[in-house]
Amino acid sequence: MALYMTQTMSEGLHPTIQYYRKQSQPHVSHTESGKFTTDAVKTYAETYDVPVDDVEKGKYMSSQGKPKSSTAVEI
């Protein structure tokens, strides 16, 4: 079973979006998890045309199953 990193992003009146990415190994490095978070923030900011600094980062989780939410976005 594939493992995924997940994290939600939000900002003001815009919707909360859950981002996910397949992990390269069971225990991800700080570099890999940091890049995932950075990419999620950037994607959210570009999607909703908001400053990167205004994006609110939700809880990061690793070793998760693939999200089933219809609003989850793979990056």
Residue 71 is predicted with a pLDDT of 86
Mean pLDDT (10-residue bins), the chain, 75 residues:
94 96 95 98 98 97 94 95
Q: Indicate the Cα dihedral angle 30, 34, 35, 37, nearest 10°.
A: 140
Hey, how many other C-beta atoms are within 10 angstroms of the C-beta on 9? 24
What's the confidence (pLDDT) of residue 59?
96
* Residue extents of the structural domains in the chain: 4-74
Q: pTM of the predicted model, to two decimals?
A: 0.93
Distance, C-alpha 39 to centroid of its chain: 7
Instruction: Give residue 1's pLDDT.
Output: 72
Tell me how far CA of residue 70 lies from CA of 17, 66, 74, in angstroms: 10, 12, 11
